[in-house]
A and B are shown apart, each in its own frame.
Chain A
Amino acid sequence: MMLAILNIDWQTLTDATALGAIYALMAVGIGLVFGVLRLVNFAYGQLVMAGAFALALASQWGWPIWAAIVLCFVVVLVLSVLMDRLVFRPLRTQSPAIMLVATFAVAFLLESIALLWFGPLGKIASSFGTLNQPVTISGVDIRKITIVAIVVAAACLIALTLLLERTTVGLYMRASAMDFQTARLLGVRANRVIGTAVVISGALAAVVAIMLTVQTPLVTPDFAFRDTIIVLAGVVLGGMNRPVPATLGGFAIGFASGILGGALPTNQSQYLPTFLFAAVIVVLLVRPGGLFDRSHTVERV
């Protein structure tokens, strides 16, 4: 009933869920690194962009799909490890503002390298074109990628939860996210935990790159840039400190922007960012610590 009033059909609903799923993966990628490093990685979108260009090049060279996927993972992982070694590690002890601006610089750098290399018009990644075709389930046309995205995102999140809950390194990561100083005093190796977080976050970026290129095959230097901004807002909305709220925040904002895109009348759809960010501001005002934050503590003397 409610859905019918808001002029939302199943099509919009599944698309919104798929967008939410992809954003949730990006949110985990950003949230994991934030947890251990207290670093908001603005250059995350550029990792996704690099992976997408790897896919585009692979499809241009006529590589088989598995090779394209391997190339994408290799490129993104190498880049994220380099980023950690060259930029994040020397700045680890600095204030969040300085680290944030450093990631701006890295984002700028990667985007302009892509611009120099591939030009502003970008390249087409067409290896996964078949996934874009629709299947009809009980009268609703759903693109295959929508289902794939939801399944892959769910699988990644389950695997990640298992890793965090059931392995030693997962325990270290959760401990570090809670209190890095104390964790280190208790014998958790900083470089190992941070390295693992960076690698996992890079792998997630590669997965996101694959799914986004299916949805938008045209890869330009600013690929995934806007998505990163929206996901960052979502992560803060959810609550940055812990992976689950961050993921939920990412999903929520993806889902909300999908639904808003479908529900707004066409003469107002250009104001989508206004509605979205107005909602973000309102939520932040009501719950500054995040939607899913239960503790509410302010330091007192």
Chain B
Amino acid sequence: MKRALLALQELAAPALLVVVAALFGTVVSLSTQAYFTDALVSVAIVVALYTFIGNSGVLSFGHISFVAIGAWTAGVLSVPTGQKPAIMPNLAHFMRHWTTGNLASIALAGVIAGVCALIVAFPLMRLSGLAAGIATFGVLEITHNMLQYEERIGPGLNAFSSVPETTGLLQASVGTLIVIVIAFAYGRSRFGRLLRATREDPAAARAAGVSIYRQRLIAFTLSGILAGVAGGLYVHLLPVSTNSVYLDLTFITLAMLVIGGATSLWGAVVGALAVSALDSYLAIAENGASLFGLHYDLPAGTRVVVEGALMALVLIVRPSGLTGGREVRLWPRHRS
């Protein structure tokens, strides 16, 4: 019981940070609130990435495919039946008359993305290192290519317009908290520990009877489910198109994870929120607003320049990320 309570402290810090961010979002203006909602959804995506990459130490460029699949699932299920022919004229017949509610669409997004992740994981988890990186990249390319041209399963090159925009601050924060709790529970479980053992020393883990393949398979599937849920949240936030769930999102979320510190849940949350905060701040500055008493008027496009430079700088100064890749406890135990 005491151990469980101590463990919960490690969950408390990231969860509290998300709650604080959400609370801040309630007191700002409606246009600024959108940045907070967006940041919370990116936390969900980055935590999904962490579940596999952080615990296994294998770099995956393919996770945004599962975000995309989740977004497609939730999107197709939630566009009102009357508007489906206009947005998706070539949609397969059985999906044409079938819509679900908001929560069901997000849950199914997780299920479908998880099934896809499992199918992908069966062959791919035998790879490691760069080969795994490139193969997962291939998954991203294939998913992007199929979603773009396969109009029987979605809008193809068009954006998912007229999906009900239910992801407000509340849904984003609750959804993200659920993702964090699941990721935390997995990390504390036997499976999470075994996977981290394979990350630290694959040879020793194998010698102790751990199947690296099976542990990675479990983590990949779980993180696929979480990424799908995040994708479901995302499509209910803004009109997603194939290009908004492709390379840019892959790079920015990976950068968030590495900048925060890839080996801890706390790092994932901190990285996502820090980079989102910077991004929003610069986006507002680009529009020439006054922030903290200073008037900025940056030319459009400076945002990405500053971000790129700062990211490189953070990596040079603190290569293990802002948090050093460690978990934190809110009330550190005093050692006697």
- Which A residues fall within an 8 A CB radius of B? 40, 86-87, 90-91, 94-98, 100-102, 104-106, 108-113, 115-116, 229, 232-233, 236-237, 240, 270-271, 273-274, 276-278, 280-281, 284-285, 288-289, 299-301
Interchain Cβ contacts under 8 Å between A and B, 20 examples:
A87-B312, A95-B319, A98-B258, A98-B319, A104-B254, A105-B255, A105-B315, A108-B308, A109-B308, A110-B308, A236-B134, A273-B141, A273-B142, A274-B141, A277-B141, A281-B135, A281-B139, A284-B127, A284-B131, A288-B127
Cβ contact within 8 Å between B138 and A278: yes
Neighbouring B residues of A106 by C-beta, 8 Å: 308, 312
Chain A CB within 8 A of B304 CB = yes
Stretch from B109-117, B158-166, B198-206 contacting the other chain:
B198-206
In residues 171-188 of chain B, which contact A (Cβ within 8 Å)? none
**Bound form: Cα–Cα A4–B298 in Å:** 58
Shortest Cβ distance from A116 into B: residue: B301
- Which B residues fall within an 8 A CB radius of A? 59, 123-124, 126-128, 130-131, 133-135, 137-139, 141-142, 144-146, 148-149, 202-204, 206-207, 251, 254-255, 258-259, 262, 299, 301-305, 307-309, 311-312, 315-316, 319
Cβ contact within 8 Å between B142 and A274: yes
If A280-B135, A285-B127 touch, does A271 touch B149 (CB 8 Å cutoff)?
A: yes
Cβ contact within 8 Å between B138 and A281: yes
Cβ contact within 8 Å between B124 and A101: no
Q: Which 8 A-B pairs have the closest CB atoms?
A: A109-B308, A277-B138, A112-B304, A105-B311, A108-B308, A105-B312, A236-B134, A116-B301
Cβ contact within 8 Å between A91 and B319: yes
**Bound form: Cα–Cα A106–B299 in Å:** 20
Option from B59, B131, B138, B309 in Cβ contact (under 8 Å) with A97: B59
Min C-beta distance of A160 to chain B, whole Å: 22
Cβ contact within 8 Å between A101 and B258: yes
**Most A C-beta atoms less than 10 A away, residue of B126, B149, B251, B316:** B316
**Bound form: Cα–Cα A84–B149 in Å:** 40
Neighbouring A residues of B131 by C-beta, 8 Å: 236, 284, 288-289
**Bound form: Cα–Cα A94–B316 in Å:** 9
Cβ contact within 8 Å between B130 and A280: no
Cβ contact within 8 Å between A299 and B202: yes
Neighbouring B residues of A40 by C-beta, 8 Å: 130
Cβ contact within 8 Å between A284 and B134: yes
**Bound form: Cα–Cα A102–B227 in Å:** 24
Cβ contact within 8 Å between B126 and A285: yes
Shortest Cβ distance from A110 into B: residue: B308
Cβ contact within 8 Å between B207 and A301: yes
Min C-beta distance of B174 to chain A, whole Å: 30
With A97-B258, A236-B131, A277-B141 given, name 14 new contacts (CB 8 A).
A96-B130, A100-B133, A101-B258, A102-B315, A104-B255, A108-B251, A112-B303, A112-B305, A116-B305, A233-B134, A240-B130, A270-B148, A274-B142, A301-B204
